[in-house]
Every structure is written in structure tokens, then in C-alpha cells.
Amino acid sequence: MIKINSVVFDLGNVLIDWDPRYLYRKLFQTDEEVEWFLENICDHDWNLKHDSGQLFSKGILEKSKKYPEYSELIHAWYQRWEEMLGGPIDESVQVLSELKEKGVLLDNIRAAELLGIHGIHFQNPSKLRKDLQMLKLL
């Protein structure tokens, strides 16, 4: 069995609460408008392309050409991304701290998987702890 000595974390919704609604609730009048925009314009699949390595500049340009009436709101995704962040997810940060204390090397899951590194898809802090215990890291 290969000894694991590194763990890679993603930030959004793993270590830090991330939700584009935090930003777009400031930019739209109603929650219905926010949901429509996030389901039809800057949707989940569009965001996943950026998580997979597509440059935001390319994704924003493509969406803005397709939906010019929403161009300013599409640009806000990148220009005001900090406003999509909530606070830390305390249980996950605790797991990260414990791994660091044990001297385990830490980075980002997408990059790791592209390099052939085994990944754990984060679902919640409790499952993360169990998965890491099964790998004998905690």
C-alpha cells in the first residue's frame, strides 16, 4: 500500500462558505430574480468550467456575448467574487489544523486529480474526518 503524506483541500464550501447568492442578493431586487440568474445565466455548469481550469476572462466574455443585457452582472462574478464568501467552515478548518499539526502536506483537489493524486470529494466535515481516518491520516 502506498503511504499517503499529502492532503489537498479546495476552499469554496470546504474550508470557507461560498455562495454566489451573497453577492447577487445585493444586485437583484428579489430572491426569485437571483435564482433565475443563477439557474439560467451564471449557472452551476458554467462555474464548473472555471473550477476545471477555464479562464474567467474567457467564460465571462462568452456569457456576455450571449447575454449582453446581463453583461455587468456576469462581470460581477469575477470582479466582486469576495462578496460570495461567508465565514470559515469551522469543522473543516479544525481537520485542516489537525493535519497540519501532524506534518501532513496540504493544496487543491482539482490540481491533485489532474496529476493522478487520489481525491476525496468533500461532502461534509464528518465524512471528511471518516475518509481521512480510513486512510490513516487522522
Domain ranges within the chain, ordered by starting residue: 18-86
Grid cell in block for residue 13: 464550501
Tell me, what's the pLDDT at 74? 98
The DSSP H or E segment spanning 111 is helix 109-114
Distances (CA, A) of 25 to 13, 34, 41, 45, 106: 19, 6, 15, 20, 34
CA distance 17 to 11: 8
- pLDDT higher than 90, residue 79: yes
Bridge partner residues of 84 (DSSP): none
- pLDDT higher than 80, residue 120: no
- pLDDT higher than 70, residue 60: yes
- DSSP-derived 3-state class of residue 88: strand
pTM of the model as a whole: 0.72
Q: With bands split at pLDDT 50, 70 and 90, how would you rate the model's confidence at 110?
A: low
Tell me, what's the pLDDT at 116? 76
